[in-house]
Structure 1
């Protein structure tokens, strides 16, 4: 038997645009569209009887900064399993959350930090957190083995860590367990890999490694928050031997599989949405302050110019201005600033405009030196992380308190504590060019390891890096849709700017099936069994809970 599909609707639509009169349309109806015949779907040499997916948030179905039922149902592995079922694939179970709110309860308490809070929704102007409380308890296990072993937040080495699912490790400081794996681990000392292998999979998908660079990137390159995984080292430490151990174990089990590499994180909207110059002079909270700001920085710019003219700070009264950032790659000239200001005979008169006595000059000189010793205005080469959009222009109350403790009046302390304007944005809000280079070098090295491992194991291999880059450079055309990396409007990325939408996951599933076809001789594409990505949503309404 062969599957026969008729390409009729598209032809009729074309006919409407091409026909000049009723006679032309009648002629079209009198000449039916030619049948398009597809071959019968076959698995080729692939055995999908027991499919297990191993990975992180990208395979768990994480979207809109949360894990929730609808997102999991539209996860890439779940979508793939539905196609695999057409050629012998079995049931596919997932550690479903208890609601569509997202986030987790820890002992009954909602945790709103990081990826444990409610999902995001579009409130008409931008991403906003769903005003609801999760009903999913981190300490309540999701019983039974799970085909989807995607663990949000997992890096490569976490797949081998035997305490990653131990609930006792959630209360250590810092926690050394993952609450999502705690819910699904078969035992406290189980590993993600061991639980996957215990299911005796005939076919696996492995997409891991994104978090080996992503945490460093989303923290603005802050090593104290998350470091890039070392390239070399023993299993569980170095990326090369860790991937070798994981893929080697899968290969030894006899499983077939498909792997994917790591996209450049700097091509996703989490890093490309917020412009480096968001300060609009028409903004009534910013524009009227520009003369005073330029007066303040006017006292510092001669010092900046003497050291490096690129450090000079000037706000435009007619065009958008760049934010002020702290650049840790710059030499710290705090002492130079302090010395120059203290030596200036006009500096006491300068601070008088703020209502400060001449005796306060050394104090103010010290504060300015410490604050602006490593600052400059951002430029187009800097990438501001998406959460910075809610910080820029706000008053940092910790800074206010610290300045008041130094003797500044509250109003003046507030003027000097405006994020990205008078108070330089901390490094965690900005990915500097030097940090971007570190990430790219690591990603390129990791991708060489991943492709080599897939080749050695005989697994299919998906170049997710090229696909994501295409989304960022003009878009990716799939049927009647062009997906891009634009936040909200692009259709490919969810509101967190990192994880795909359901439509984005469907696009990825198609790419995985194409590579499986290439390696194992299946014919998902040739038989017309690729997904219509238009059947998958790009957003979830706030009413879905």
Structure 2
């Protein structure tokens, strides 16, 4: 018996001595010189969320989150053009940021909804320049900035978001971004080249054509890499997969029998009929026969800008068809998605030419459509409750920004043999409920 016990004890000691030990991988910049990092982009880069630029959102900007991880592998201090910490924020239209609050609709029903924090935004912020020559900014995310605007002289006189942070009234964003001679960069531009057109239901304006886009994009990359800097460029997500475009169902016209009878009396003479339950909203469409109206069909999108009180109480979307500015038809969506694909093909080709890493936040946006599980937490593109987007339905919230930031980190690690630590997005806030 003693011999058996001794054998078991020895075996246990042998097994214990062979137990693998987990060693945390060392952080490393690999082939990347992370000393001076800058990021150029539009509103998503700046920390714009809840339809405004404001202090807390800037703290969780993609640029700031990526920089924090790069600092673990040798990057220096990172400065941002912060709004005042007590600011209500400011949108491109001069409005304050959204918060989640209670709102009563035209039917007298009170429910949670995005509401403005104040009656007007902090437009005074545009009158005060925050540039500091001793603390050169690293975040050159400028809300509303297109690819062609990045190297446009005196851009600050056209866009107050850059005007408040530029070194002079005559400088371009690219000139200020490269003044510190960055050794590492990230480029996340292109969304604004098509977003305004898409947000207007493809009813007005236009988008940057591919040739102009590609030429301007390469000029930016050529300037950023001229002194040997390495970096990452980003593909453009399909913005039509964001909650702003996917929240209201195309067949959200739910009808009771009396409503069916009323609408059939109006529309049956022109060959359009309704049924009890869900129906496609009515929209204006010049191509829809002599009367230019029709039902929406599966795959078409109703924009979040649609005045829902008018839908509920004033027969908008039924007796009075939606105007083009509130919807995206299949033809319009096909055009928009093809344009995004053309932009991404141009970005991919330029990245190959200049041997740069490619981040793919477009995959994050696509996966959020069906939902993802991240460290045990389910996230989706569902408006408000999905956990990834802010209250404007286009920009991410802090948690969403953390997930997208990891795409930039992953791309840098893969391309430059680096071990930049990933972000645990669960540690970042989502939508705050009252």
TM-score band, normalised by shorter chain: 0.7 to 0.9
Match of 1:51 in 2: 37
SS of the residue aligned with 1:386? coil
> In 2, Cα distance between the equivalents of 1:203 and 1:478?
28
- Superposition deviation, residue 389 in structure 1: 5.3
Rg larger for: 1
Match of 1:215 in 2: 196
SS of the residue aligned with 2:252? coil
Aligned with residue 320 of structure 1, among 256, 278, 288: 278
Match of 1:454 in 2: 351
Contact 1:101/1:133 (8 A) holds in 2 = no
Aligned alpha-carbon RMSD (Å): 2.2
- Superposition deviation, residue 148 in structure 1: 0.5
Alpha-carbon spacing, 1:420–1:157, altered in 2? closer, same or farther (3 Å)? same
> In 1, Cα distance between the equivalents of 2:351 and 2:372?
25
Alpha-carbon spacing, 1:484–1:537, altered in 2? closer, same or farther (3 Å)? same
Match of 1:530 in 2: 422
Aligned with residue 192 of structure 1, among 162, 169, 173: 173
Alpha-carbon spacing, 1:389–1:486, altered in 2? closer, same or farther (3 Å)? farther
Match of 2:106 in 1: none
Matches within 5 A, 1:244-255: 244-255=218-229
Aligned with residue 119 of structure 1, among 97, 105, 110: 97
- Superposition deviation, residue 34 in structure 1: 6.7
CA deviations 1:219-270 (Å, max 9, x no partner) are 1012x3x3111111xxxxx111111111111111322111110011121111
- Superposition deviation, residue 394 in structure 1: 5.9
SS of the residue aligned with 1:440? helix
Matches within 5 A, 1:164-183: 164-166=155-157, 177-183=158-164
> In 2, Cα distance between the equivalents of 1:79 and 1:62?
14
> In 2, Cα distance between the equivalents of 1:470 and 1:541?
25
Matches within 5 A, 1:3-402: 35-99=21-85, 102-104=88-90, 115-123=93-101, 124-131=111-118, 133-135=120-122, 136-144=124-132, 145-166=136-157, 177-222=158-203, 224=204, 226-232=205-211, 238-281=212-255, 288-301=258-271, 312=272, 314-316=273-275, 318-331=276-289, 333=290, 373-388=291-306, 390=308, 392-393=310-311
> In 1, Cα distance between the equivalents of 2:428 and 2:315?
42
Pair 1:435-2:332 in alignment: yes
Contact 1:70/1:100 (8 A) holds in 2 = no
Contact 1:101/1:130 (8 A) holds in 2 = no
> In 2, Cα distance between the equivalents of 1:221 and 1:320?
26
Match of 1:424 in 2: 321
Alpha-carbon spacing, 1:64–1:77, altered in 2? closer, same or farther (3 Å)? same
- Superposition deviation, residue 530 in structure 1: 1.4
Counting matched residue pairs gives 405
In structure 2, runs of 5+ residues without a counterpart are 1-15, 102-110
> In 2, Cα distance between the equivalents of 1:55 and 1:477?
28
Alpha-carbon spacing, 1:53–1:492, altered in 2? closer, same or farther (3 Å)? same
Alpha-carbon spacing, 1:520–1:64, altered in 2? closer, same or farther (3 Å)? same
TM-score, scaled relative to structure 2: 0.88
Contact 1:274/1:389 (8 A) holds in 2 = no
In structure 1, runs of 5+ residues without a counterpart are 1-30, 105-111, 167-176, 233-237, 302-311, 334-372, 396-416
> In 1, Cα distance between the equivalents of 2:37 and 2:93?
27
CA deviations 1:12-57 (Å, max 9, x no partner) are xxxxxxxxxxxxxxxxxxx9x9742112211112111111110001
- Superposition deviation, residue 279 in structure 1: 2.3
> In 2, Cα distance between the equivalents of 1:186 and 1:128?
35
SS of the residue aligned with 2:115? strand
Alpha-carbon spacing, 1:492–1:456, altered in 2? closer, same or farther (3 Å)? same
